[in-house]
Amino acid sequence: MSQTLLCRQIDQVNVLVFVCAFAERLFITIMAEISLTLPSGEQKTVPAGITVAEALKELVSNKERKQTIAARLADRLVDLSMPIEADAAFAPITVDSPEALEILRHSAAHVMAEAVLALFGKEVQVAIGPAIADGFYYDFDRAEPFTPDDLVLIEAKMQELAAVAAPFRRETMSAAQAIELFEKSGQTYKVELLRDLAADTVSLYRQGDFVDLCRGPHLPHAGWLKAVKVIKMAGAYWRGDENRKMLQRLYGTAFFDPKDLKAYLYQLEEAKKRDHRKLGKELELFAVADQVGPGLILWQPKGALLRKIIEDHWREEHYRNGYELLFTPHIAKRDMWQTSGHLDFYGENMFSAMEIEEVSYQLKPMNCPFHIAIYNTRKRSYREFPLRWCELGTVYRFEKTGALHGLMRVRGFTQDDAHIFCRPDNLEEEIFNILDLNLHILKTFGFESYEVYLSTRPEKSVGSDEHWEQATAALKLALEKKGLAFEIDPGEGVFYGPKIDIKIKDVLGRSWQCSTIQVDFNLPERFVMTYTGEDGKEHQPIMIHRALMGSLERFIGVLIEHYAGAFPVWLAPTQARIMNITDAQSDYAEEVYAELRRAGVRVEKDLRNEKLNYKIREAQMQKVPYMLIIGDKEMEAHQVTVRLRNGDNLPAMSISEFAALIAGENEAGRTGACNS
């Protein structure tokens, strides 16, 4: 081996050693730094293993950091104490983030459980405590029921714990260790949850003396709970199972800002005052009777009148917009429900069959097959399209007794239904027309703020790709043409076609699902519907299902709460109440009453021998828009003095002038002029 060769070999060894050392250093450097991608797209390098809180110090301003309670790391929400081990997308969750309230409220639930255990000791078992839409709850198993005084104590204890500001600490351990821990403290519900979880490792959160099985994340410490309220209690079965134990559920809510809590509690109070069940009773609009059965609404005279006004308005508007009116029966042969697919897909919502002359019949849960039966009474041609058929159709659906709620959730209700049969190329225009009528009618009732959703094809569905694409595009175009902002709900369409849902916002800002517009490729197929096209061949029509108000019952429930029972004049079942000051004006009052009724004014009389102030107060309680007061002066002048429900007075006027005033208000209401 020559000298040079040897040298070269040594060199190579040296180089190799050098390269290895460099690589090792490089490797260590790679291991020790990770890259975080911020919401702006900017990438920042931080040491691996650093906690979220430490990373925030390097990544965001002090001001933002102080408002940060958690972070989104990749797709996961994590605590500030969580170490970051790998490259990831990173976003701070500040108090203004949409996810922040849920973290606050879930943490509040833990603190509520801590407070309950601190106050009521070992006799209490804790079950589960999630955040929900407007707050949070926690379920407790305690022999003695909580009293309203207890709720006050619990809230005070929570505030006390918040002031201590104990940190929420995350621990992970094996499920077996966690089971042992909860068995030791006698928390059998947690043990059951852990056994069912069948996980190897689980996370627990500890704050103060309280420990809970929990995925997290949580607030850094309880001191963030500056605005917390325990609201009410209710019974709730363990795991929603009526065969398991009934637990006591305590509801609460929490906000970052005490001002927000105050506003929420005010709204809650307002909602209570406006509760349609309470007002329905006070204003004698509707009732339910044990003898008749739950969820079956009895419309009292005033409620029936209100409903008639709404129905008349609805029918007139539809007729004017090219709809024809239908009436169909309440029962149909079971066979029809087999063909429609309702028995297979909707059977559990239907009432049991009844036998008539050895044939099975069923109460209708929907009106659609009846309208199809009318379609199929004869051959149809493209020339008569689009067919727009509407019906205020009463349907019956099974709901569990526990789910029933006033007018909002019932067993028998009247849908403001319509079906449109048309060609595929009519679709966009028809949807546009429906939206137009829909928004117009909602506006006449005082609703002008909406949330609109377009739901697209779900995984399980019928119909061709081409049909789905066409129909979805038509719905979208119609929404855009109408200038409506909407959100897309991917995969949330019905199995038979895409749909548009419209939620209305009431005066308290609450959303109510009312209108729905659904394209259907399924029923025309099932019922072998056809029409003769321009080409002389048979085709399958497109079917659109559509409801504007949803159901009359529910819509009237929403109306009662929206107006707090003080309906606008055109809707008020009683528009005016006549009151005499003394018996001396009785005859004249009767005359006014008869004349106004003849003029179409919805008028009542209160000619009792009572003080005028008493009569006025009663009329105000009944939210009657106009009080017509008659004394000697009015009698002599052949006039009435008009008092408004807010206490203001109009100048005295003649009977015909008052009738004209009402006619004007009716017109303004029906056309929506008073709401623009």
Rounded to whole angstroms, the Cα distance separating 423 from 519 reads: 12
Catalytic residue (choose from 125, 187, 362, 415): 415
Q: How far is the CB of 241 from Zn ion (least distance, A)?
A: 21
| Binding window for Zn ion (CB under 5 A); candidates: 15-23, 363-371, 608-616, 662-670 | 363-371
Which residue do the tokens 């029906």 mark? 670
Q: Is 544 in the site for Zn ion (CB under 5 A)?
A: no
State which H helix or E strand residue 10 sits in. Answer: helix 3-32
| Binding window for Zn ion (CB under 5 A); candidates: 94-102, 493-501, 541-549, 588-596 | 541-549
Tell me whether residue 545 is one of the annotated catalytic residues: yes
Within residues 212-231, the interface with Zn ion by CB under 5 A covers: 214
Q: How far is the CB of 74 from Zn ion (least distance, A)?
A: 21
Catalytic residue (choose from 397, 411, 457, 467): 397
Q: Is 368 in the site for Zn ion (CB under 5 A)?
A: yes
Q: How far is Cα of residue 360 from the mean position of the Cα atoms in its chain?
A: 37
Q: How far is the CB of 215 from Zn ion (least distance, A)?
A: 7
Q: Is 247 in the site for Zn ion (CB under 5 A)?
A: no
Rounded to whole angstroms, the Cα distance separating 429 from 633 reads: 60
Decide: residue 379, CB within 10 A, 0-12 exposed, 13-18 middle, 19+ buried.
exposed
499/545 with CB nearer Zn ion:
545
Nearest residue to Zn ion, by Cβ distance, number only: 214
Q: Is 103 in the site for Zn ion (CB under 5 A)?
A: no
b/e burial code for range 410-433 (CB count within 10 A of at least 16 → b): bbbbbbbbbbbbbbbebbbebbbb
Among 221, 302, 545, 577, binds Zn ion (CB under 5 A): 545
Question: What residues are paired with 255 via a beta bridge?
Answer: 227
Tell me whether residue 419 is one of the annotated catalytic residues: yes
Which amino acid is it at 125? Q
Rounded to whole angstroms, the Cα distance separating 275 from 273 reads: 6
Tell me whether residue 272 is one of the annotated catalytic residues: no
DSSP 568-615: -TTT-S--EEEEESSGGGHHHHHHHHHHHHHTT--EEEE--SS-HHHH
520/606 with CB nearer Zn ion:
520
Which amino acid is it at 422? C
214/420 with CB nearer Zn ion:
214
36/368 with CB nearer Zn ion:
368
Tell me whether residue 20 is one of the annotated catalytic residues: no
Tell me whether residue 417 is one of the annotated catalytic residues: yes
208: tokens are 């103060």
Rounded to whole angstroms, the Cα distance separating 459 from 126 reads: 39
Length of the chain: 676
193/441 with CB nearer Zn ion:
193
| Cα–Cα–Cα angle for 447, 550, 402, rounded to 5 degrees | 110
Decide: residue 275, CB within 10 A, 0-12 exposed, 13-18 middle, 19+ buried.
middle
Catalytic residue (choose from 342, 419, 546, 577): 419
| Binding window for Zn ion (CB under 5 A); candidates: 36-44, 265-273, 545-553, 662-670 | 545-553
| Binding window for Zn ion (CB under 5 A); candidates: 152-160, 186-194, 261-269, 543-551 | 543-551
Start-to-end CA span in the chain (Å): 103
Q: How far is the CB of 368 from Zn ion (least distance, A)?
A: 3
| Binding window for Zn ion (CB under 5 A); candidates: 24-32, 191-199, 341-349, 361-369 | 361-369
**What is the binding site for Zn ion (CB under 5 A)?**
214, 368, 545
Active site residues: 368, 397, 415, 417, 419, 499, 545
